Chain A
């Protein structure tokens, strides 16, 4: 397993203005490198777009990237940790650590607007903004990502990955993925 499992709480990627200029520059470099790491299962999105890159910490020459899984069993996490490590290595960091945290729990609200736009043009309906959802028999409304029709129906709550559901447009008859809102 890559990256130690830790349960430390962490806030969203925040500006670390308290640091000295050198650390700030290193952090910028690390962030730029990590911004190129894509989700292997939704290659159109980077880990920053998804909001699963939670923090980058610099201590001297040491860099630590903090990531959080979308779902408890997300099988892409190990690969993301490996790719993040590789990206940092390519950016010249020799002392690297990738830490996985569970708290606070990831929510689709952390997905960037840019990420949502990328998803839609890729043919996946992005999650609605509010993560509150009834647990039984809730109704969802969305537009077909191809023809824009509101006449859509759910085929299955579960799709090709843990984070997506399978839908179909009744107007153009095309099936499509919906990034589930959690």
Chain B
């Protein structure tokens, strides 16, 4: 491999955090209650903050003069390496919560393990992110239980959301040459080592939410290689509009 695997690895994490944060920020002004308005904006803020630190590091690793803003605002769909799950439209509040719960059930142990990475920058970013992910997991876990074990209507919607989101969980555990090299070097975390924690969290919360865990069937894939759904282009059109229309604009 000619390219340093640390760059695509860091970009995957950065892109996932940014797109996830951007999607959550779309709830501003639309959340069902004021408290959730604040909560989702807070989650988004954490994620965009994590993305910024990751992009700054990716820029440093790349060493070609691009900065964090160039990486976030001036790359096209095919260059983005985020998980497909985070580019999906928000759906209703329940669907957003379900998606964020499943993702957080993975990200919390992921950041915890990454805090012991041999790469001191990734470990520093992870040590901050793990505290934030703990809040995200608890918040979304509690809402999953509240809605799943709520009214007939909320239960039905959460059941549907779970069916919709489940095929996107396979991507969380994918590995390729990029990961394998970095896992061997003690830099990256082997996602297989997080499966048990993920399963335990998901089972515990879904049981409390009276929701049946779907069987693992065919899983969606491609985001980490730059093969995206049509939704990402629309996200980027909005996210990157200002820098595309007015290159270099600052205020």
Give A contacts to B, CB under 8 Å: 5, 7, 9, 69, 71-75, 101-106, 133, 135-138, 155-160, 162, 166, 180, 182
**Does the CB pair B141–A137 fall under 8 Å?**
yes
CB distance from B198 to the nearest CB of A (A): 13
Q: Is B131 an interface residue (CB 8 A)?
A: yes
In the bound assembly, the distance between CA atoms of A135 and B134 in angstroms comes to 5
Choose among B38, B47, B121 the residue with the greatest number of A CB atoms under 10 Å from its CB: B38
A72-B129, A102-B127, A135-B108 provided; 7 other pairs, C-beta below 8 A?
Answer: A7-B125, A72-B125, A73-B52, A105-B127, A135-B138, A156-B35, A157-B39
> Which of these, A7, A105, A133, A166, contacts B57 with CB under 8 Å?
A7
> If the complex has contacts A5-B53, A155-B35, A157-B135, are A136 and B201 also in contact, measured as CB distance less than 8 A?
yes
A180 and chain B: residue at smallest CB distance: B135
A-B pairs, 7 with minimum CB distance: A73-B49, A72-B49, A103-B124, A156-B35, A73-B45, A158-B39, A105-B127
* Chain B stretch 71-126: residues in CB contact (< 8 A) with chain A: 108, 120-121, 123-125
Residues of B within 8 A of A160 (CB): 38
**Does the CB pair B49–A103 fall under 8 Å?**
no
Residues of A within 8 A of B41 (CB): 158
Q: Is B62 an interface residue (CB 8 A)?
A: no
Q: Is B165 an interface residue (CB 8 A)?
A: no
In the bound assembly, the distance between CA atoms of A136 and B121 in angstroms comes to 27
In the bound assembly, the distance between CA atoms of A162 and B40 in angstroms comes to 11
Report the tally of A-B residue pairs with Cβ distances under 8 A: 96
> Which of these, B45, B47, B53, contacts A75 with CB under 8 Å?
B45
Q: Is B48 an interface residue (CB 8 A)?
A: yes
> Which of these, A105, A136, A162, A166, contacts B137 with CB under 8 Å?
A136
CB distance from B38 to the nearest CB of A (A): 5
> Which of these, A7, A105, A159, contacts B131 with CB under 8 Å?
A105
B125 and chain A: residue at smallest CB distance: A102
Name 29 interchain pairs, CB-CB below 8 A, sorted by A: A5-B56, A7-B57, A7-B120, A7-B124, A71-B45, A71-B49, A71-B132, A72-B53, A72-B128, A73-B21, A73-B49, A73-B50, A74-B49, A101-B124, A102-B53, A105-B124, A135-B134, A136-B138, A136-B141, A136-B201, A136-B205, A137-B138, A138-B138, A155-B35, A158-B38, A158-B39, A158-B43, A162-B42, A162-B45
* Chain B stretch 1-55: residues in CB contact (< 8 A) with chain A: 21, 35-36, 38-39, 41-43, 45-50, 52-53
Q: Is B142 an interface residue (CB 8 A)?
A: yes
In the bound assembly, the distance between CA atoms of A7 and B21 in angstroms comes to 23
Q: Is B204 an interface residue (CB 8 A)?
A: yes
B45 and chain A: residue at smallest CB distance: A73
**Does the CB pair B49–A69 fall under 8 Å?**
yes
Residues of B within 8 A of A106 (CB): 128
In the bound assembly, the distance between CA atoms of A157 and B138 in angstroms comes to 9
In the bound assembly, the distance between CA atoms of A73 and B45 in angstroms comes to 5
In the bound assembly, the distance between CA atoms of A98 and B222 in angstroms comes to 41
Q: Is B157 an interface residue (CB 8 A)?
A: no
Choose among A103, A138, A155 the residue with the greatest number of B CB atoms under 10 Å from its CB: A103
Choose among B41, B128, B142 the residue with the greatest number of A CB atoms under 10 Å from its CB: B128
Q: Is B139 an interface residue (CB 8 A)?
A: yes
CB distance from A6 to the nearest CB of B (A): 9
CB distance from A103 to the nearest CB of B (A): 3
Residues of A within 8 A of B125 (CB): 7, 72, 102
Residues of B within 8 A of A5 (CB): 53, 56
A106 and chain B: residue at smallest CB distance: B128
In the bound assembly, the distance between CA atoms of A96 and B183 in angstroms comes to 40
Residues of B within 8 A of A71 (CB): 45-46, 49, 128, 132
**Does the CB pair B50–A158 fall under 8 Å?**
no
**Does the CB pair B137–A135 fall under 8 Å?**
yes
